[in-house]
Structure 1
Amino acid sequence: MKTYARIEDQRVAEIVSLNVKPEKLYHPSLVWVDITALPEQPDINYRYSDGVFTAPVTDAENAALIASSRLAAEMDGANRVIAPLQDAVDTVMATEEETARLTEWKKYRVLLSRIDVSAAPDITWPDKPK
């Protein structure tokens, strides 16, 4: 008996164990891959591409990836606001308003740096300064 995975849209849609090739029992348009000899058997929803099976991304992994992207974007934005404000302070050209804004943006950047993206989606994002 052999084990086969039916592939649909580059994902494992079904797994069957048969004594005959699946083409003899199922419609010939279906795509089947013999997985009998694989050391680690794929499961439903595993991705399949170029002969390789990979586990699907879990919701938690996906949430962490999204949070990581957002964190990078937020930090980049904060750095772009902070740089000219810091230059104004360093060159003794800053107004009181610019100095106050610099402090608020630096606090925001510190709060961002403390975010643990692995806690996604349960992250409380700090409020962006104005």
Structure 2
Amino acid sequence: MKTFTIGGMKFYGNPEQPSSIYAYEADGSADAWIPSSYILLDEKGYDAIRAIQAAENAPTPDQLLSSAMAERDSLLAIAALRIAPLQDAVDLDEATPEDIANLKLWKQYRIALNRLEQQTAYPTTINWPIAPS
């Protein structure tokens, strides 16, 4: 069997810790320190353990929701900062046509942010609206 390596390292698994991978120099210089209970991994075994690690480290639904809400709130704060002076200009009859157009775009963006929860796969997959430039 050809040894599977990445970056000059070969990889071992520990049957007692099925989601752990241990890396050793592929040139054999560290072989004396490899516990006999470790199993040399081929690419398939390495990929399987990496998949287990990814699943173990995947965020919970509550973490996904919390992260999405925090990002949304941050973007809403930015939108509020952009909307306020444009709305002031409109309220004081000092808005240019460009101000009015920008105000509409920023308000549409803010509405889209507030409707994220209506997306089908929210919060696992979010189609974030693009902020006006």
TM-score, normalisation: structure 2: 0.52
Q: 2:108 maps to what in 1?
A: 107
Percent identity at matched positions? 35
CA distance in 2 between counterparts of 1:66 and 1:121 reads 11
Q: 1:120 maps to what in 2?
A: 123
SS at match of 2:85: helix
Q: Which has the higher helix share?
A: 2
User: Is the Cα contact below 8 Å between 1:67 and 1:121 reproduced in 2?
Assistant: no
> What per-residue deviation string (whole Å, max 9, x for no partner) do you get for residues 30-57 of structure 1?
xxxxxxxxxxxxxxxxxxxxxxxxxxx9
**1:59: Cα distance to partner?**
2.1
If asked which structure has higher relative contact order (CA below 8 Å, sep 6+), I would say: 1
The alignment of Structure 1 onto Structure 2 pairs a total of residues equal to: 74
What are structure 1's unaligned runs of at least 5 residues? Answer: 1-56
TM-score, normalisation: structure 1: 0.53
Q: After the TM superposition, list the runs of 4 or more consecutive aligned residues in structure 1 that deviate by more than 4 angstroms.
A: none
What are structure 2's unaligned runs of at least 5 residues? Answer: 1-57
Q: Which has the higher strand share?
A: 1
CA distance in 2 between counterparts of 1:113 and 1:69 reads 12
